[in-house]
Amino acid sequence: MKEFWSSRIQGLTPYTPGEQPRERKYIKLNTNENPYPPSPKAVAAIQEAAGSGLRLYPDPEAGELVEALAQVYGVEREQVFVGNGSDEVLAFAFQAFFDPGAAIVFPDITYSFYPVYGAMFGIQCRTVPLLSDFSVPLEPFFEENGGVVLANPNAPTGMELSQDALRSILEHNPSVAVIVDEAYVDFGGTSALPLIREYPNLLVVQTTSKSRALAGLRVGFAFGNANLIAALNCVKNSINSYTLDRLAIAGAAAAVLDEPYFQAQCRKVIRTRDHTARRLGDLGFHVLPSKSNFLFVSHPDRPAGELFQELRENGILVRYFPQPRIGNYLRISIGTDDEMDTLAATMEKLIRKP
């Protein structure tokens, strides 16, 4: 019993973010950051915004950013919500759409923040075991539930659920909210965004952290029917009216509007990913088919925990989840071509070690 702690947090186990090392310089392939800088237009917009107006509150509606997203994604402003990173957007969505009582469902292997939100907000969670190839079985999502959460592409597998499969899940769940977390969709995945017109219960969540290289700025967003967006705004305005600061609004809006830069960077990451996947495959790794900016890999001869440690000793950070079913896998973010060459060469050395 922790004195003064509320009962709701007494037993909580918070989320553990990937390491942000400060002691030495690593090739950092552990938190799915973009290896390239954000759009120069975003940086310029931030530097301009910093020079004037910081004494004033931001626009609580972040109109400039909402407008940019509406324009680029071809939706109405009323169909757009923005927040302080997609983690905050997801936390708001859990509070906006899910109730204690009926359990929400998501895969057993997925973004590990979902069960943390469930515990924090008193929402029961039921996990659906992925199949042995880490694909998503559909039938368990057709059973009665209090809501559905799907990362697509999934993390940490990087694998995509087809739009037909997603549509089938939506058809079977007309009375609860279905959240599709598309943090990684821009690296070759297919977005469910067009489906928001058909399904009033579909919320599509995305982020500027990965594909727009703005993990340091904390801007996430969501698309959905105006009624869902109103619910998210109701939650936001009951917690913090100004979740996005002036710099985040200006920088993210400029990044979203710079489509050519965005597309070019995504193509580079995809090319490097596919090349790295082939090289690791040649070294004997089992490499899951990735539509994200990371690879999820396992080697028949070397335990992942050992490789994780040895990579670290060689100056390369990747992510290792010592837990059931995925304890022999490593999640490797896609860096620059040079970084991935070093990774592949180091892996080769480690695999061949007597």
Tokens linked to 64: 């400039």
Told to check if 46 binds a second copy by CB under 8 A, we report: yes
| Alpha helix (H) residue ranges in the chain | 7-10, 40-50, 63-73, 86-97, 113-120, 163-172, 226-236, 246-257, 259-282, 304-313, 337-352
Window contacting a second copy (CB under 8 A); options: 81-89, 163-171, 190-198, 317-325: 81-89
Terminal-residue alpha carbon distance, the chain: 50
Is residue 246 near a second copy by the rule CB under 8 A? Answer: yes
Query: How many residues can be counted in the chain?
Result: 354
- Residues 311, 305: Cα–Cα separation, whole Å: 10
- Contact between 68 and a second copy per CB under 8 A: no
Residue 148 near a second copy by CB under 8 A: no
Interface positions, 170-199, toward a second copy (CB under 8 A): 176-177
Nearest partner of 84 among 247, 261, 266, 254, judged by Cα:
247
Size of the site for a second copy (CB under 8 A): 84
Indicate the residue type of 253: A
248 binds a second copy (CB under 8 A): yes
Nearer to a second copy, 123 or 280 (CB): 123
Exactly one of 69, 231, 254, 311 binds a second copy (CB under 8 A); which one? 231
Q: Which of 17, 281, 284, 315 binds a second copy (CB under 8 A)?
A: 17
Among 8, 267, 271, 325, binds a second copy (CB under 8 A): 8
Q: Smallest distance from the beta carbon of 78 to a second copy, in angstroms?
A: 15
How distant, in Å, are the alpha carbons of 147, 212, 275, 295 from that of 340? 39, 20, 9, 11
Nearer to a second copy, 82 or 248 (CB): 248
Report, in Å, the least distance between residue 278 CB and a second copy. Answer: 25
